[in-house]
């Protein structure tokens, strides 16, 4: 069961690192990302925060997955 949990955590980390930055590239080029003056809108700021949280969770998942494999 420990190996299964480690694999799930590692897959989660890989998914977040691959999916979120690609998604954020599309968000940055979206018309709703900047106002007429070129200033970042709440739409962009919220998605930037989501990206940050997703990458933080990816890092934590990676560390936890590795620790489970080493300790298990």
What is the 3-class SS of the chain, one letter each residue?
CHHHHHHHHHHHHHHHHHHHHHHHHHHHHCHHHECCCCCECHHHHHHHHHHHHHHHHHHHHHHHHHHHHHHC
Domain boundaries, the chain: 2-71
**Per-residue tokens: 21:** 């930055």
To the question of pTM greater than 0.85 for the whole model, the response is yes
**Per-residue tokens: 46:** 């919220």
Task: Spell out the per-residue pLDDT of the chain, length 72, in tens.
Answer: 899 999 999 999 999 999 999 999 999 999 999 999 999 999 999 999 999 999 999 999 999 999 999 997
Contact 12, 61 (CB under 8 A): yes
**Per-residue tokens: 53:** 């949280």
């Amino acid at each position: 069961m420990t190996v299964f949990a480690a694999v799930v955590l590692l897959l989660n980390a890989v998914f977040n690192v691959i999916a979120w930055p690609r998604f954020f590239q599309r968000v940055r080029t979206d018309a709703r990302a900047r106002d007429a003056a070129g200033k970042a809108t709440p739409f962009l700021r919220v998605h930037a925060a989501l990206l940050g949280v997703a990458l933080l969770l990816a890092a934590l998942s990676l560390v936890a997955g590795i620790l489970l494999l080493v300790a298990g």
